[in-house]
Amino acid sequence: MDIAYEWRGSFTNAEINPLHAEGFDHPVLIDDDWWSQVSRHSLGWVCARLDGELVGFVNVAWDGGVHAFVLDTLVTGKLRRHGIGARLVAIAEEHARAAGCEWLHVDFDDHLRSFYFDACGFTPTNAGVIAL
Ligand SMILES: CC(C)(COP(=O)(O)OP(=O)(O)OC[C@H]1O[C@@H](n2cnc3c(N)ncnc32)[C@H](O)[C@@H]1OP(=O)(O)O)[C@@H](O)C(=O)NCCC(=O)NCCS
């Protein structure tokens, strides 16, 4: 498969909102302004395209210093398990390192342990979260 990956690649909200809805199993939120959100606040993001269609995405949030955070790793259902997700995260890692970050964080549900630990190279750590 000839997937094109692009760091800080352009995308439209009309492209990402259905991808996010499919990945996280919620209705399409047409008012979510992903483009403004990530272009204002993130270190970057990676887009994956097949024949021009947005088929994968990952957002790299940032503390402005040495910590970056992988969020919203997404691959469209029909193309999962072809290595696209791992490649998206590898590109995120490469650019976070190039930007001077020293730590790349992620959290995830149990069923994705193999994806993040084995395929993406994260190591386990203690972490916590509070639902606000
Ligand atoms: C998580 C997600 C991005 C993975 O993308 P992907 O392109 O399918 O992942 P890859 O093909 O790179 O997976 C590489 C390896 O990780 C592991 N893996 C990936 N998805 C897995 C899953 N759902 N369950 C168990 N292992 C998984 C496998 O070992 C896989 O290798 P294999 O296919 O040779 O067995 C994709 O399943 C997705 O979009 N899910 C819905 C949204 C989501 O939950 N995102 C994560 C938020 S933290």
Tens digits of per-residue pLDDT, 92-116? 999 999 999 999 999 999 999 999 9
Q: Indicate whether residue 83 lines ligand 1 (CB < 6 A).
A: yes
In the chain the first and final C-alpha atoms are separated, in Å, by 40
**Ligand 1 atom closest to 109 (CA):** 48
Q: Which of 78, 114, 115 to mutate to test the pocket of ligand 1 (most atoms within 8 A of CB)?
A: 115
* The model's pTM: 0.97
Position 30 confidence tier, pLDDT thresholds 50, 70, 90: confident
Q: Indicate whether residue 21 lines ligand 1 (CB < 6 A).
A: no
Q: What is the mean pLDDT of residues 32-60?
A: 97
Cα 101 to ligand 1 centre (Å): 25
- Domains defined for the chain, CATH in brackets: 3-119 (3.40.630.30)
Q: Indicate whether residue 74 lines ligand 1 (CB < 6 A).
A: yes
Q: What is the mean pLDDT of residues 27-41?
A: 94
Residues above pLDDT 90, as percent of the chain = 97
The widest CA-to-CA distance across the chain, in whole angstroms, is 41
Burial 67-86 (b: 16+ CB within 10 A, else e): ebbbbbbbbbeebeeeebbb
Residues above pLDDT 70, as percent of the chain = 100
Hey, CA dihedral for 21, 49, 33, 67, is it positive or negative? positive
Structure confidence at residue 109 (pLDDT): 95
Q: What is the mean pLDDT of residues 80-101?
A: 98
- Judge whether residue 1 has pLDDT over 90: no
Cα 84 to ligand 1 centre (Å): 9
* CB-side neighbour CA atoms (13 Å) of 11: 34
DSSP code at position 99: T
